[in-house]
Amino acid sequence: MVELLGEDGQVIGNQPKATVHTTDTPLHRAFSVHLVAPDGRVMLTRRALGKVTWPGDWTNACCGHPAPGESDVEAIHRRTATELNIPADAVGAPRAAIPGFRYRAVDASGIVENEVCPVYVADLLVGPADLPAPNPEEVMDVAWAEWPHLREALTTVPFAFSPWLVRHVETPVLDELLVR
């Protein structure tokens, strides 16, 4: 279930996730998280080709929808385990980077994303070589980049990335949190 939101950001109901993303998607609650390796590189994931929206696009480490009543931090740990097979004890405490992030974007198929989607940063407590393979139904590839290089790619070839990740660079706070 996904929590539906009014224009004021307050929860107004719930809807099954399988039915919420359409050509007329209602505003709903989500999250994005950037995972940072001990060496300072940022994880990028390439969305599996079976994803409903933006299949095959590169994006931040993990995104998802908190269940009704679930905190963003609980949802981050649940989704990093589901999508990336990373256990909660391998992810440091998520820090809110862009708490009020909201976006609306339309996929080439016409499916709309319409989300209040706070952006978090969390440190990985293990190195990339120690991570298991991600869930192939969610992620088809993983890459690691230094934030300045990723930032440049996002502004140079935005079409290769999810629209929410491209919009993340509009907020300079990530520059402060992701440059080591």
Residue 176 labeled ligand binder: no
Model confidence, pTM:
0.94
Tell me if 169 sits within 8 A of 176, measured CB to CB: no
Question: What is the four-CA torsion angle of 176, 91, 81, 70, rounded to 10 degrees?
Answer: -80
Q: Where are the domains of the chain?
A: 2-171
CATH number, span 2-171 = 3.90.79.10
Residue 65 labeled ligand binder: yes
Catalytic residue numbers read: 63, 115
Residue 7 labeled ligand binder: no
Ordered per-residue pLDDT tens for the chain, 180 residues: 999 999 999 999 999 998 999 999 999 999 999 999 999 999 999 999 999 899 999 999 999 999 999 999 999 999 999 999 999 999 999 999 999 999 999 999 999 999 999 999 999 999 998 899 999 999 999 999 999 999 999 999 999 999 999 999 988 888 888 876
Task: Say how far apart CA 20 and CA 86 lie, in whole Å.
Answer: 27
